Structure 1
Amino acid sequence: MLELFLAELKRSWIEFTRYPVDAIAGIFITISVFYGLFLSARYIAGPNLQFGDRLDAIVVGYVLWTLVVFIVANITAVLQVEIQTGTLEQVILTPFGISRVFLARAIASLTINIIVITGILLLILLLTGRQLYFPPALILPLLTVLLGAYGLAFIMASLALLFKRIQQLLGLTQFALLFLLAVPSETWSGTLWIVRLLLPMTMGAGILRDLMARNLSLNFVEISLAFLNGLGYLVLGLIVFRRAEVEAKRRGILGGY
């Protein structure tokens, strides 16, 4: 598995360096969209606007949304490219299996894009003049968000495997992800708190906002529940993807487009 990861990491790095204009354009667009929203809000509210820690929380949610959108779209996009180029059968026939190959490929791409996302975060903080906290404990809620993101990514990839073209659905999914990651679910109570337990990534995102924007301490009960949520969605995604692979083989549409 390590050999597979290193091979995919090399492949991701070659693709990233071979098309630098695309990477730079993506970074510029991501930062420009947020900064445009920031300037618009400040203009509407007037010179007496006081964001407090709310803007910090919004920054955390926006950067998380950017990361998760990449994860969910990346696996699906790579799968569709394999289908269009007719190389999906070669991936399936490898000793590792299609699930391991795409998981290793996604983690390898994430390794590179974590650096890009960190750069985007630092530039946004520089432009807005805000300051976030970076305690070592933030690794734990970030991991729960990544687990849930990969679970959703494999569910979307399952749809791509069966229906081939799902670009419009991916676009709608981005708005749903913005709700999950940007809404301050950590303030919910009562029935909404139970809903928060069931929604993907919301608990991990809320814990990250508490740690990075509000400088609160880590709640071990919440982080444990967030881990269970993330693992549950990852297992669900892998099971659905495996079922979709079997169904695609049964229908004979694995390599069709």
Structure 2
Amino acid sequence: MLTAIESEFRRSFLLMRRYPTETLAQIILAVVSFYALIAGGQFMAGGPLLGTRITDLVVGYVLWMLVLNTVGDMGFGIAEEAENGTLEQLFLAPLGPFQLFLIRAVVDLLTSLVFVLLMLAGILWLTGLRLHLSAALLVPFFLALVVALALGLLVASLAIVFKRINQVLSIIQFGFVFLLMIPFDSGIMVLQTIGHFVPLIPMFSLLKMLLHTTGQLAMSATAQLLFWCIVNTAFWLVLGMIAFRQATAVARRKGTIGHY
């Protein structure tokens, strides 16, 4: 197990070191894209985005980029392994496919986290925005990381069975933009109930609440949101693990692990 973890970290580090311009270009593109989004929002609103609007936009963008990188790494990674003919070798590893790809998903998630933090630093520097960060933000952010990991397992399940899922990946990745724009916490009971089970939405709401309130304000609402964050995390993590195990069983039964 420790050897596999070390190997995955070494693989990720070697890829970043071998293609440093690619990593730097991704960070610059993400920061510039956000700045363009701000400029477009100011144009549409007829004035600068101030107060909670700009903060919510930053939080939503960070979560979206986290999903974008995690889901993309898992999906495209397995598709590339299948295209290169090395996917079957991974299934024959002593650890087994579930443990191996779970380790890979965690390593990819940590790599994406470094990317997201660097991107956030660039956004704050470029826009001059100041966020009031606190230790309480770590809880919903950690739960968001776990949900991103679960989504990565779900996408990996699709990649193992169908191999070529580039268009599906695009729908999943960019579909989160529209999900984060839906006002699930607007007060409408139906939207709130649905939002409790939509991936990352409770964490998004809790992060916004923690950034906008201070002291003992809205403590009951915060506790309720934290409960739904935990429920949301457990739901998607269990679903991702079950889907991955079922996908590997189907691929083995059909003998399509080495196909592309």
Q: What's the TM-score, normalizing by structure 2?
A: 0.91
Structure 1, 141-150 or 22-31: larger mean CA deviation: 141-150
RMSD: 1.9
Q: Give the SS at the match of 2:63.
A: helix
Return the offset for 1:50.
5.0
Matched pairs, number:
256
Q: Distance in 2 between matches of 1:105 and 1:22?
A: 20
Q: Distance in 1 between matches of 2:49 and 2:68?
A: 30
Counterpart of 1:42 in structure 2 is 42
Spell out the pairing of 1:1-257 with structure 2 (5 A cutoff).
1-46=1-46, 48-49=47-48, 51-215=50-214, 219-257=222-260
Return the offset for 1:221.
2.6
2:152 alignment partner AA: A
Q: Distance in 2 between matches of 1:90 and 1:50?
A: 51
Q: Distance in 2 between matches of 1:11 and 1:184?
A: 40
Q: Distance in 2 between matches of 1:235 and 1:177?
A: 20
Identical residues among aligned pairs (%): 35
Q: Distance in 2 between matches of 1:193 and 1:148?
A: 19
Over 3 Å counting, the alpha-carbon distance change for 1:248 and 1:50 in structure 2 is: closer
Unaligned runs of 5+ in 2: none
Return the offset for 1:214.
4.7
Return the offset for 1:217.
6.7
Q: Distance in 1 between matches of 2:80 and 2:62?
A: 26
Over 3 Å counting, the alpha-carbon distance change for 1:45 and 1:221 in structure 2 is: closer
Q: Give the SS at the match of 1:187.
A: coil
Over 3 Å counting, the alpha-carbon distance change for 1:124 and 1:138 in structure 2 is: same
Q: Distance in 2 between matches of 1:89 and 1:203?
A: 38
Q: Give the SS at the match of 1:243.
A: helix
- Provide, for residues 203-252 of structure 1, a one-character-per-residue CA deviation record: whole Å limited to 9, x for no partner: 01111122235556762232122112112111111111111111111111
Q: Distance in 2 between matches of 1:137 and 1:11?
A: 33
2:24 alignment partner AA: I
2:206 alignment partner AA: I
Return the offset for 1:3.
3.6
- Provide, for residues 155-206 of structure 1, a one-character-per-residue CA deviation record: whole Å limited to 9, x for no partner: 2221211111111111111222113335453334311111111211110111
